[in-house]
C-alpha cells in the first residue's frame, strides 16, 4: 500500500491542509492543549477555548493587516450562507437604494446573484447583473468598464468574486476591481468573495466593505467562514429591509465575538494552526503571493509549451494562481473528454489526486493552495509533459 501522505492532493475544496497541522489536530482530538478534554468536546465558553478564538482572530488580523474598524467574524454555513448574509445585512430600508450590483465572472458570482434574486424576489429591489467577460467565437475577453451598467448611487453595494474556483478565473490583483470601480466614479461599498484565494496575496482591506471566505479552500476545514466587515456598515440608521436570522447577523456576531451560539470549534482550531503555520513558514502575504505565482507558472508554462494539446480557456491576465483549469484537445481542435478521463486515471496511478475539473465544466483543474508544495506541483508538470508526449500523434 502507498503510504497515505505520498499522495499529492490537488482537490479544489475541501482541500489540502498542511501535514503539520493535521498531526497537531490528531493529538488535539484526544487532549486539547493539555485540558484533558478533546477539541471535539471542549466547551466554547471555557477560558481556554475563548482565548484560542481571540488568538485566531489576532493571527488573522496581523497576517492581513486588518484595521480595527473592521470586525472579524467566524461564522458557519460556508460561502453559500454568506451569499445570503450579504443581502440581509447590507440591504436597508432606504428608498434611494433601488438595486444591488453583481459583477459576474463565473459560477460562484453567478450563484451569489441568484441567491440575492431569491431573497429580494418579493421586494421592489432589482439585482443588476453585469457580465465581466464576453465570449465571442469561443474566446473570452474582459469587458470594458465603461460598458458596465453600474447603478452607482442607487446600489447598496457592488459584489464580485476575486477568484472563480470552478472556472479558474482570478482578478489580476485584489485592487483590480476596486480601482476600476473608482475610475467609474462608483463609491458604493464593495463586497468580495475571496473564498479560494484568501491568504494567497496581499489585500488592501480598507478598499472593501465586506470580505468573506469559506475555510475549506485555502485555510482550513469546511464548517467555518470568515467575514471581515467594516463596522460602519453595521451601524447605519436605516433598519435592514428583510429580517436577519440571528445566525447570519453580522452585528450579533461582532458583539458576541462570534460566540452567539456554538461555533465550529474544531474547525476554528485548525484555522488557528494554519494561520500560525503561514506566519512561520512564509512570513508575509507578499512572499506567499510570489510562491503561488511561481507554482502556477510551472503549469501554465506546460500548457503554453504543449502545442495546443492543453488549452487554457482563460485570457492570460486572468489565469488563476490557485485553480489551474485546462482542457485536453485533439489535433482536430476538438476537446477530448476521453483523454481527460485517461489523464485523471493515469495521474491517480502516480499518486496525483483531485485533478478532475468541476462537474459543471469538465476538463482538468489543479488547485494549488498554500498547503500544496512546489515539488508536488513539479510532479504534475512532469506528468503533464509525459502524458502530452505519449499522445503526441493524436
Residues in contact with ligand PLP by CB under 6 A are 13, 78-80, 108, 161, 165, 193, 195-196, 214, 217
Active site residue: 16, 217, 254, 277, which one?
217
**Cβ distance to ligand PLP smaller for residue 108 or 300:** 108
Closest by alpha carbon to 108, among 178, 43, 196?
196
Q: Which residues of 91-111 are buried (b: 16+ CB within 10 A; e: fewer)?
A: bbeeeebebbbbbbbbbbbbb
Separation of alpha carbons 322 and 295, rounded Å: 9
**Cβ distance to ligand PLP smaller for residue 161 or 210:** 161
Active site residue: 108, 148, 162, 249, which one?
108
Look up residue 145 and give its three cell numbers: 468598464
Residue with the CB atom nearest ligand PLP in the bound state: 78
Separation of alpha carbons 365 and 327, rounded Å: 9
| Minimum distance of ligand PLP from residue 215's CB (angstroms) | 8
**Cβ distance to ligand PLP smaller for residue 89 or 214:** 214
Separation of alpha carbons 322 and 246, rounded Å: 33
| Minimum distance of ligand PLP from residue 130's CB (angstroms) | 18
Look up residue 162 and give its three cell numbers: 476575486
**Cβ distance to ligand PLP smaller for residue 80 or 126:** 80
DSSP E strand boundaries for 42-148: 70-75, 99-104, 126-131, 133-136, 139-142
| Minimum distance of ligand PLP from residue 46's CB (angstroms) | 27
Asked if residues 221 and 269 have their Cβ atoms less than 8 Å apart, the reply is: no
| Minimum distance of ligand PLP from residue 223's CB (angstroms) | 8
| Minimum distance of ligand PLP from residue 13's CB (angstroms) | 5
Active site residue 193: yes
Active site residue: 101, 193, 249, 254, which one?
193
Active site residue 135: no
| Minimum distance of ligand PLP from residue 80's CB (angstroms) | 3
**Cβ distance to ligand PLP smaller for residue 74 or 387:** 74
Q: Which residues of 325-334 are buried (b: 16+ CB within 10 A; e: fewer)?
A: bbbbbeeeee
CB within 8 A of 273, min separation 6: which ones? 20, 21, 24, 25
Separation of alpha carbons 340 and 329, rounded Å: 9
| Minimum distance of ligand PLP from residue 214's CB (angstroms) | 3
**Cβ distance to ligand PLP smaller for residue 306 or 319:** 319
**Cβ distance to ligand PLP smaller for residue 72 or 328:** 72
234 to each of 25, 76, 152, how far by Cα in Å? Answer: 35, 19, 20
Residue carrying C-alpha cell 489551474: 324
Q: How buried is 350 (Cβ within 10 angstroms: 0-12 exposed, 13-18 middle, 19+ buried)? A: middle
**Cβ distance to ligand PLP smaller for residue 122 or 359:** 359
Asked if residues 232 and 254 have their Cβ atoms less than 8 Å apart, the reply is: no
Active site residue 94: no
| Minimum distance of ligand PLP from residue 165's CB (angstroms) | 3
CA quadruple 349, 354, 355, 361: dihedral positive or negative? positive
Separation of alpha carbons 143 and 13, rounded Å: 29
What residues act catalytically?
Answer: 108, 193, 217
Amino acid at each position: 500500500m502507498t503510504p497515505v501522505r505520498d499522495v499529492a492532493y490537488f482537490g479544489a475544496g475541501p482541500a489540502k491542509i498542511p501535514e503539520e497541522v493535521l498531526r497537531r489536530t490528531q493529538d488535539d482530538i484526544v487532549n486539547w492543549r493539555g485540558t484533558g478534554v478533546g477539541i471535539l468536546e471542549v466547551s466554547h465558553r471555557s477560558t481556554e477555548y475563548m482565548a484560542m478564538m481571540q488568538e485566531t482572530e489576532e493571527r488573522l488580523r496581523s497576517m492581513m493587516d486588518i484595521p480595527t474598524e473592521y470586525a472579524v467574524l467566524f461564522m458557519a454555513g460556508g460561502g453559500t450562507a454568506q451569499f445570503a448574509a450579504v443581502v440581509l445585512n447590507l440591504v436597508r430600508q432606504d428608498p434611494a437604494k433601488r438595486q444591488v450590483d453583481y459583477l459576474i465572472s463565473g459560477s460562484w458570482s453567478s450563484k451569489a446573484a441568484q441567491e440575492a434574486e431569491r431573497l429580494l424576489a418579493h421586494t421592489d429591489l432589482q439585482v443588476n447583473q453585469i457580465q465581466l467577460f464576453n465570449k465571442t467565437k469561443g474566446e473570452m475577453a474582459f469587458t470594458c468598464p465603461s460598458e458596465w451598467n453600474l447603478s452607482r448611487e442607487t446600489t447598496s453595494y457592488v459584489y464580485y468574486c476575486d477568484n472563480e474556483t470552478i472556472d479558474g478565473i482570478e482578478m489580476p490583483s485584489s485592487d483590480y476591481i476596486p480601482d476600476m470601480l473608482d475610475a467609474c466614479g462608483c463609491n458604493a461599498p464593495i463586497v468580495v468573495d475571496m473564498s479560494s484565494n484568501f491568504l494567497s496575496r496581499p489585500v488592501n482591506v480598507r478598499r472593501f466593505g465586506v470580505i468573506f471566505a469559506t475555510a475549506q479552500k485555502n485555510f482550513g476545514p469546511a464548517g467555518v467562514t470568515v467575514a471581515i466587515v467594516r463596522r460602519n456598515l453595521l451601524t447605519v440608521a436605516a433598519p435592514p429591509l428583510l429580517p436577519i436570522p440571528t445566525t447570519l447577523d453580522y452585528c450579533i456576531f461582532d458583539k458576541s465575538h462570534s460566540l452567539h451560539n456554538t461555533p465550529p470549534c474544531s474547525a476554528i482550531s485548525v484555522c488557528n494552526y494554519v494561520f500560525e503555520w503561514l506566519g512561520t513558514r512564509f512570513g508575509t502575504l507578499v512572499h506567499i503571493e510570489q510562491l503561488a505565482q511561481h507554482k502556477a507558472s510551472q503549469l501554465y508554462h506546460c500548457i503554453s509549451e504543449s502545442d495546443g494539446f492543453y488549452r487554457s480557456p482563460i485570457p492570460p491576465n486572468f489565469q488563476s494562481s490557485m485553480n489551474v483549469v485546462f482542457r485536453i484537445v485533439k489535433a482536430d481542435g476538438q476537446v477530448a473528454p476521453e483523454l481527460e478521463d485517461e489523464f485523471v486515471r493515469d495521474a491517480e496511478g502516480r499518486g496525483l489526486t483531485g485533478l478532475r475539473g468541476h462537474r459543471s465544466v469538465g476538463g482538468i483543474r489543479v488547485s494549488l493552495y498554500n498547503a500544496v508544495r512546489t515539488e508536488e506541483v513539479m510532479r504534475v508538470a512532469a506528468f503533464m509533459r509525459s502524458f502530452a508526449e505519449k499522445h503526441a500523434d493524436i
